[in-house]
Amino acid sequence: MRSPEERAKDEQRVELALLGKLLPAHDLRIHTKVVGVTQANSDGSLRQSVIEKMRQFDSVELVRNPNDEWDSNAIKVMALVAESGRRKKGEAHASTPEIRRVQVGHLDAALAAELAPALDRGDRWWAIATRVGGPRTLGVSLMLCHLTR
């Protein structure tokens, strides 16, 4: 459980982020929720398990998926998560954790249709998790920023 001081510090960071003071140079911000967070990934990993490892203010990657079977404008939301290293027989300590890029969901179809052409022509977008968690199922809210060149 976080202390009141930690919660207050997080709230200050959210306020600074919303004011654009923690962000790279950008000319457009969009707030959205990640969809598809309860699905399993093609490798069998569970998105809910990945989201459990995420924290507020984690950067995520937006990855175009033009070959998606349901939406040619699809944009995956990918998180970097640390998988704990395994201890091999005879070793005193576990190996260094492995960092993996894992899908936690995707942008909704309407937003993906808006952003896909920009990503396809090379525009750069940056995304940060503004909220992670939830009462029953875990979710992720994002702030997306169109980076200026």
Mean pLDDT for all residues in the chain: 85
This prediction has a pTM of 0.76
Contact 77, 104 (CB under 8 A): yes
In the chain, the DSSP E strands lie at 26-33, 59-64, 75-83, 98-106, 125-133, 139-147
pLDDT digits (tens, 9 = 90+) for 98-139: 888 999 999 999 999 999 999 999 998 989 999 999 989 999
Judge whether residue 27 has pLDDT over 80: no
Domains and CATH numbers, the chain: 24-147 (3.30.70.2330)
Ordered alpha helix ranges (H), 19-143? 47-52, 109-120
Q: Which pLDDT does position 28 carry in this prediction?
A: 74
Which pLDDT band holds residue 7 (cuts at 50, 70, 90)?
confident
Distance (Å) of CA 98 to CA 35, 77, 84: 26, 19, 7
Ordered alpha helix ranges (H), the chain? 4-18, 47-52, 109-120
Report the C-alpha gap between 142 and 5 in whole angstroms.
24
What does the DSSP 8-state code read for residue 66? Answer: T
Choice between 89 and 52, residue whose per-residue pLDDT is larger: 52
Judge whether residue 24 has pLDDT over 80: no
- Any residues with CB less than 8 A from the CB of 29 and at least 6 apart, and which? 20, 23, 143, 144, 145, 146
